[in-house]
Structure formats: structure tokens, C-alpha cells
Chains A and B, each alone.
Chain A
Amino acid sequence: MRTTTMLNASRLRSPILYVLCLLYLICLPYSASAATPPEAPSVVLIQNATVMTVSHGTIEHGAILIKDGKIAEVGQSIKAPAGAQVIDASGLFVIPGIIDCHSHIAAESINEGSVSVSSMVTMEEVLNPDDIDIYRDLAGGVTSANILHGSANSIGGQTLVIKLRWGQPASKLPFEGAMPGIKFALGENPKRSNFSSRGQPQRYPATRMGVEETIRGAFSEARDYKKAWDDYNKRVAAGEKNLIPPRRDLKLEPLVEVLEGKRYVHSHCYREDEILMLLRVAKEFGFKVRTFQHVLEGYKIADELAAAGVGASTFSDWWAYKVEAYDAIPYNAALMTRRGVIVSINSDSAEEATHLNQEAAKSMKYGGLSHDEALKMVTLNPAIQLGIDKRVGTIDVGKDADLAIYNHDPLSAYAVVQKALIDGRVYFDREKDIANRPEIEKEKKALTEKLKKAEKKPEEKKSPEKKPEEKPKPPAPASTPTAAVASQGGAL
């Protein structure tokens, strides 16, 4: 039923509106330059909404009660407790906040591309909470994202899941308790045969065989490293004195964690052969691959993926942008789902992440998934893949109040996010955003004038210095222009 709502444009007759929606997205950057975290009301009630719980159907004229950032009640009509902040969502649609299983936002640096095993680096250290893409994606309903290292290395850097708490410092972004991850990459990117820097020797490996060997080599080292420490600890426990401990090795420590099941493997891949290769290597060394990312040929080996219990996080309908993407089909997500694979749709791009709801909807057209199955691809399924489904991914009592509120069915091309909540706090509010724009423009203009006077030829200024700042404004966050953002390309 909802399929029809979504696919025909009867709700919005005018194409102008669609253009307006697009314009709105383009305008966002200018309106969010000064972020302060929103207030944290202890009780929030969202009422009169169409609540798409994902786990137990859709509740028309539903309500969600939020207490201290958690969902306390979901139902038809809930009385507003005293002091509750009430959000009237008449005519609006609430879904669990979107989870992007493959993102490169909010980081000052993406790729340590110099070595074929860069497991010593960690995305958590380079989080940039001032990255405007956090706000843009939030405006697209995304509340959590898996921040991945790039795909230049067979074994890449350590990854983490964040919540898009715009305005908070970097230390407040990580998704508390979420299992840390590590990026692997197979195929063209890590083998670097398509990349070479002038005057630089080509980095090993140069073939898919070399990629396999690199991973195998790294895990052999990790196994030895673990053994060295186990032996040392045993001898110390036995009372031996004056032992020189092994050196700590930041490259091997995360690989030991993978072997011990304490770190998820998220592997970038395209072709079926390389995917099966990694499954074999993982089996040999006794670790699990948590998700295959992109996995455009996943439909060819859906049974093997399902049997290995590994998640697949793919694109909706991107293909043929490089040779290893030639066999991609838009039916991939639906076909894998039908064979029992947990599938999510990811963005791999700050822009794509602003409309993951539409990307999910495409699996209804290509493959005929149901409305809820499609919605799961950007909510519950990525939550399962990232091991955070106890906390987020559906609208259920006890879960985090991470929600996206749309003006239309979220799987419609006309749906625009009105509010995005994380932990019950409204981190994006479209109305407020629009209302704030004139003031921001005004402040920019005033500052530009002031700086022009202050910075240009101060010697020529004959008039005595003005009193410092008539009324000091509360400090608003800002970021220095000197902080060059080294985003070294995506990880397609």
C-alpha cells in the first residue's frame, strides 16, 4: 500500500516543490555554521504521528514518550506528563534514525595510504566534530554512522560508530559501547595497480593474489605477536624476574583483537572471487568478517554470505564506475535479502547520506521488497551489522530516542526531514534552521565589515582604538581555516 504512496507523485503535484527541496539541501551549509548542542529535556512527547516502528508495524496517530533520552513508551495515545516538551507531529512520519554503515564524514583524515597494512591508525583520533557534513547528514535523517578508514590498504585503519551529535566535542561523538571495527579492502584499490605517484615505487601488492598474501601475512604476524605476549605473561605469572617484555606493536594489537573477536572486520569488496577469498582466510585464522562493504557481486554468492553469517552493506544502484563494478545490478540488495543475508544500504558519500531513505526505497522498485524491508535497510539492518541493535534501529521501549521525523512517507522522494533527534535531543530542526539564517547572515556581514577595518592597514587608522567589543557574545563554536581537511577521496 505504501509503495503506491511512495512511487506516485500524487501528494505533491508541483515539481517546484521538488526543486525547493533540492534548493533547501544546497542551502544548508550556510545556516549551520554556528553549532551549539541542543538542550536536553528530560521528558519529550511526540504525538499525532505516523510511527513506523520497523520492529512491530506502523502506528497511525501514534505517540512516542521519551524519558532521559530513551524511548519510554510507544503507542496510540500517551498523555503528556507534566513538564514534558511536546512535539506535535500531526501529518508527520517518525522512523528510527537512519544508520549509515559506510561513511567518511567527521574526519580530518581518511586514508593512510602509504602502507598496505595500516591497522595502527584509528579514525577516532581524527574525528572532526566541526565537519559540516555531520549537520547535512543529520538533516537527511542520519543519526548514527560507521566512520571508516579509506580503502587504499588491504588492511586499513581502525573504525568506529558515531552518533551525529552536532555541536558536541569529538569525545562525545562515539557511540557508547559499540564494538570497534577495522577496515579491510580487496580488489583494485588496495592492489594499487591503478594508482601510482610520480617518482614513487609502486607499493606492494599489485594483484588480488598479493592482497590475499598481505592479509595472511599480517595475521600470521599477529598470531606470533599474541603468542609472544601470552608466553611473556605466563612466565611473569610463574614468577620469573627480569624478563624483557615484547615491544608493543600498534599495528598488530588491533589484529589480535580481531582474532579474539573483540573488533569487527568491515571489508570493502566488489567481486565474488575476492569475497570468497576473504571468507576462506578468515576461516583459516579463526576470525569472523562482520560486514562486506559495497559487495556489488554479492548477489552471485548470496548463499555463501548467508551461510557465513556475514552482513552485506551495499549501494542502491551505482554501477560501472570502474571495472570491478561492471557486474553490479540494482537488484543486489533485494536478491541478497531474499537469500537470508542481512543487507543494509550505505552512502560512502556525505551527499548520498542525505537521502539514504530514497536509496532504501529503490529496493522496492528493484526486487520488490516490502516497505518495512526497505526501511530496515537503513535502520535495523545496519544496526545489527554494527552490533548496536539493542540500542537503536527500531522504535521500541528501552531503545535510544534516535528518531527522524519526515513530512511525508520517508520512502517517498518528496519526504523532507523536519527534525532529527538523538538521545531525545533535537539536533536538527528544519524550522529553526530556516529561522536562524537571516541572523547568521547578519552576523557574517557585521564581522566581515569589522575585520575589514581591523585587518586592512592598521597603521593608517588615525582614529583612536574603539573600546573592545561592546557586548561580548557567548562563544560560538568555530573552526580554524588553517585546519586543512585532508579528505583523500572516498573509498569506492
Chain B
Amino acid sequence: MRFKLLCRCASALCFAALLFLVFNPPVADAQGGEPQYFAIRGAKVFPVSGPPIEGATVVVSRGIITAIGKDAAIPPEAWVIDGKGLNVYPGLLDSFTDVGIPAAPPAGGESGGPRRPQERANGPEDRPASMPWRSGADEANLSDKRIETWRNGGFTTVICAPKGGFFPGQAAVLDLAGEHAGDMVVKSPVAIPVSFQGTSGFGGGFPDSLLGVLSYIHQVWLDTDWSMKAQAIYEKNPRGVARPRYDRTEATLAEALEDHALVLVPANNRVQLRRALELIERWQVNGAIYGGQMGYEVAPEIAAKKLPVLVDLKWPEAEKDADPEAKPSLRTLQFRDRAPSTPSVLARSGVKFAVYSGGIGAPKDILKAAKKSIDAGLAPDAALRAFTLSPAEIFGVADRLGSIESGKIANLVVMDGDLFEEKTKIKMVFVDGRRFEVHEPEKPKDQPKGDITGKWKLSYTTPEGAEDSTADLTMDKDGTISGSLTSPHGSANIISGSLSGDKFTFTVNIVLDQGPTDVTFDGTFDGTSLKGSIAVMGMSIDFNGVKPGNAASGVATQGGAR
């Protein structure tokens, strides 16, 4: 019997070893995982915690930075990377996002415990749109395609929280790589975001206005406070005392507050910012502001309260497809003009701030948006800090990441030039010491036939019925396609795209009901029209594209009433 058992164990072991070999082949060019010792030699290193060091070596051992400096000893087992002409930065942090959470959770409660069905709330006691127990750490999943997109853009770490509702859930610090979802989690929870965005609308359930939302959140904090106190009193002497009611919202918030989680409060314009300062004071929580784009007006007031700000890098722009006669107000124009100056004003006023992607869909555009702030007066090293050490400090993980220091997590970005230069290319990214080579988006093989630039109306039939989208495409000489897609489900920038010969392809990431989803358009371009298929969630949908106004297409101009 014992022998049999041994045999079984041995065969299991063999099988496991085989599996290991299959899935972790010990070849050098494998993505992620192998080898575990690196030395980048002779690079310009930006530790952020100190001044840049020319010709320095960074040693990475089993996920940790073990040495940095001009004379850092290179261990014999390390894979040496020639860093000549390369810049090494700490891995970038996106300070507030849901990258890492692949899709909206199922409505039912089959796995995550009972979820409150979306019923009409009749008051705060019904806890409308509140799921503070959800967590970026629990819902993180490597299947989110954006993980790779973000990583390839130099982002090694995100502050990730679920979205939706007034208490959408808790934020966690995630590293954007791992074998299992759990590998990603650096710390959790680090923050409790709140939102003032309701969904019910006027006449729906409580709350249906900003007024109601604020009163609701006040009541929740009061209840949480009461719950903590009442429970403690009850535990001391339960006899003869009515037992305080258990409430999941109160219980999870109480626990998160005990973990010193930051409460993230939305505020973008000056009225909202000043209101947020008052709210944080009233709630008596460790607060931080997200949004912050009009910080240039109220920076000293924020500084006086010593509150950190997460600045949304999706700068305000002219309204798309606005009435051509509509003239924006001076305030609107000023806001659009000055928003990118907010980081520099915050820096001057001594406000601790970090930056986040906001609604930006491509990492390249995140850095481009940051460049606007540099152009508006932000020192480049301060900009770098806002992507690295500052968010690490704000979220309490500066002891383990955010800078290139011995003992910290080996999150690194290696580039062939300055981080904020548009031409600079990312060569490789290290996440937890795993090396990821960044492949340039594939260049079109053949010279493009014709110019695909322009506004295209794409028509197709989804399972729900006929639908149109507009693709606004811009093609470079080499056939690289950029631009945006506007669909009934929302708009998104094109992540990658090209025209090679007469074959085109472009991909966007759009938030569908199921969550953020990659949608790829493939097909042929005959000079005047597009024909091809849309790949989305395993489906393939045929589509036709025409340029409205193009006589050859035989389609009347959009909105071209005669």
C-alpha cells in the first residue's frame, strides 16, 4: 500500500515536472519568468529617490533590486544587458484605474456571495449602489488584455479599483504581471474610492441627485462610525442589550478605515475641489482628491489641508461633434487652456500629487498628456515622480516600490531615450523582476495602397440589430493607422492599426456591458470603401465602411439635408 502510494507520488511529481517544463521552458527568450537574475550595465539610471546616475548598473535578483550604482557588482548568474544609450526608470504607476479587472462582475451572486440586486432604493438604509466589499485585489485577473497594453506602455503598477456606484469597492496596488492573479497584488486595500455619479436619474430610486448622493454618503460614514462603537459596546456586555444589526457596507468600510485606507473623493473644478476639502474634513477620514484638473485655481487651499491629489490626465477638450455655432464660454476656454498647468501649480504650492490615465485608452497618450504638463511648466523630474514615487507614497507602498533602490521590487522601464519624448521607444519592462520585451507594433509589411485617412462610417449588424460607428482614421506614410472610433457603446482611441497593401487592421478597446473589450477591425481597402470583419468577444461580424460625402460610395452625406 505504501509502495503504491509512493509510486503515485512519484508519478505525480514526474508529471508536475513535465508540466513545469512545458509551461516554463528554460530558454532565454521566454516572456516573463526566466531567468531571474539580470544586470543592466552602463545605462543612465533614474532612481527618482536620487539624482540620475550615468553609466550605472542595476542588478535584479529574483524580483528584487539588489544593487544599483556605477560599481555595482554583477553576480555571475546574472544575465547582463548592455544598457549603453538606454535610460532606466522605475516602473510607472497609473494611480487610479480599473486596468486589471477584466469585466463587470456577473449580476448574480453565484461566486462572490450575495450581491444586492439592483432594486429601487427608498433611502440610505437600502444602501443604493454600494459594494465597498468588492476589491481590486479580488477581481484582478490576468485575462484583462489591458494589462499587456499598459505594461508595454511602461506601466508596471496600477492602483486598481472596481468601478460603478457610490462605493464601488476597494482599491489595491497591483503589479501588472504574474502567473496567478494573486501574484499581482502588492497591497490591499489602499483606498476606498467614492463617486457621486448615480445611475437612477430623476424620479428613480434614492438618491437621484447630487444632493441625495452627498447626504447618502454622510449617512454611511455616520452609520459606519456608529456600527464600530455599538459593536464594541455590545461585545463588552451583550446581556440584556439589543444586538446591533450587521451591515456589510458598514462592516467592510470600518475594516478598511482601520487599515488606514485613503478615501478618494472626486473633484475636478474649483467648486467641486473646495467642496471636497470640506467633505473630507467633515468625514474625518484620510482623504485624497481625484480629478483635480482645476487645481491651478485652488492649489494653496489644497496645500493648506495637506491633501494629496490624483490628477486626471484626460485633459478637457473641445466637445466632439458640438453644434458648429455653439461658442464655449470664456470659463470653458480658460479651463481647457490651463488644465495641463495644474501639476506644475500643485508642485509649486507643495501639494503631493500623482497622475492617472482617467479616460485615456492608450498608454502612449497618457505620457503625451503628461508632456503637455511639462510644456506648461512642470519640471520633467517632477513629472516622473508623479508617475512613480509620489503615488507610491500616497498609497503607502513607497517602502517597496516607486523608485530604483536596493531592496525594492524590481519594476523597471528601459527606454532608448527620455521618457516624455514622443520618439522614445520602450525596450523592455521589468515587473517583479520578470523581463518583458516590448515589441514594436508591427510595421506594415507592404507599402500601403492608397490613403485610408478620413472619417469612415462603418455599418454592421450585431445580434441586437443594425448599428453604425464612425472611425476617424489617420494614416502615416508607412501605413500606421491611428485615430479613434465612435460607436453607440462609446468612443475609444485606436490602440494599434496599419494598412499593408490593401489589407487594413485596427484595434480599439471599448467598454461594453461585459467590461473593457478589445475590438479588432480587419479587411480590405479598395481605395474608396472598406470591407471586412469585426472581431469582438469571439464573434466575427461583417462590416462595410464608406466615407460619408464620397460620391463613389453612393451614400448620402450624413445629416446632409438638402
Contacts and interface: CB of A to CB of B under 8 A. Distances in A.
A170 B275 contact: yes
A112 interface: yes
B233 A477 contact: no
A108 B268 CA distance: 14
Nearest to A169: B274
Chain B's interface size range is 35 or more
B22 to A, nearest CB: 44
Interface in B198-212: 200-212
B390 interface: no
Interface string A33-53: 110000000000000000000
Given A126-B214, A129-B271, A482-B268, A248 B222 contact: yes
A74 B121 CA distance: 57
B381 interface: no
A263 B423 CA distance: 64
A156 to B, nearest CB: 10
Contacts of B269: 130, 478-480, 482-483
B271 A112 contact: no
Nearest to B234: A244
A125 B214 contact: yes
Interface stretch (B176-184, B323-331, B397-405): B323-331
Max chain A Cβ within 10 angstroms of own Cβ: one of B201, B209, B474? B209
A115 B336 CA distance: 38
Contacts of B297: 475, 477-478
A114 B337 contact: no
A459 B296 CA distance: 26
Contacts of B244: 244
Contacts of B335: 478-481
A438 interface: no
A243 interface: yes
Interface string A102-120: 0000001111111100101
B550 interface: no
Nearest to B337: A447
A486 B201 CA distance: 10
Given A120-B219, A149-B211, A451 B205 contact: no
B145 interface: no
Given A149-B211, A480-B269, A483-B269, A114 B200 contact: yes
Interface residues of A, number: 68
B331 A242 contact: no
B334 interface: yes
Contacts of B209: 109-113, 121, 486, 488
Interface stretch (B77-85, B89-97, B186-194, B314-322): B314-322
A248 B207 contact: no
B377 interface: yes
Given A170-B274, A475-B338, A481 B212 contact: no
Contact of A122 (B121, B215, B474): B215
B293 A125 contact: no
A302 B45 CA distance: 84
A157 B237 contact: no
B333 A451 contact: yes
A169 B332 CA distance: 18
Contact of A118 (B205, B212, B317): B212
B447 interface: no
A110 B212 CA distance: 10
B425 interface: no
B207 A440 contact: no
Contacts of A157: 211
Interface string B288-309: 0000011011000000000000
A197 interface: yes
Contacts of B368: 458
B272 interface: yes
A465 interface: yes
Contacts of B270: 130, 169, 477-479
B562 interface: no
Max chain A Cβ within 10 angstroms of own Cβ: one of B201, B230, B337? B337
B173 to A, nearest CB: 28
Contacts of B336: 447, 451, 455
Contacts of B123: 115, 251
Contacts of A108: 210, 271
A468 interface: yes
B226 A245 contact: yes
A478 B230 contact: no
A114 B319 contact: no
B334 A476 contact: yes
A15 interface: no
Contact of B219 (A29, A112, A169, A250): A250
A489 to B, nearest CB: 8
B333 A475 contact: no
B120 interface: yes
A362 to B, nearest CB: 33
A242 B296 contact: no
A457 B237 CA distance: 69
B241 interface: yes
A247 B226 contact: yes
A440 B330 contact: yes
Contacts of A118: 211-212
B376 interface: yes
Interface in A362-404: none
A464 to B, nearest CB: 11
B557 interface: no
Given A244-B241, A251-B123, A480-B294, 16 more contacts: A113-B209, A114-B208, A114-B212, A115-B123, A120-B218, A130-B270, A170-B274, A197-B202, A201-B120, A244-B234, A447-B336, A448-B328, A465-B375, A468-B375, A478-B332, A483-B268
19 contacts: A33-B330, A114-B207, A115-B123, A149-B211, A169-B274, A170-B271, A170-B274, A242-B237, A248-B226, A249-B219, A448-B333, A455-B336, A478-B331, A478-B335, A479-B270, A481-B328, A483-B271, A488-B202, A488-B209
Interface of B: 120-124, 200-212, 214-216, 218-219, 222-223, 226, 229-230, 233-234, 236-237, 241-242, 244, 268-272, 274-275, 278, 293-294, 296-297, 316-319, 327-338, 368, 375-377, 474, 482
Interface of A: 29, 33-34, 108-115, 118, 120-123, 125-130, 149, 157, 169-171, 195-197, 200-201, 203, 242-245, 247-251, 440, 443-444, 447-448, 450-451, 454-455, 457-459, 465, 468-469, 475-483, 486, 488
What are the nearest 8 A-B pairs in CB distance? A480-B269, A33-B330, A478-B331, A121-B211, A112-B212, A109-B210, A197-B203, A447-B333
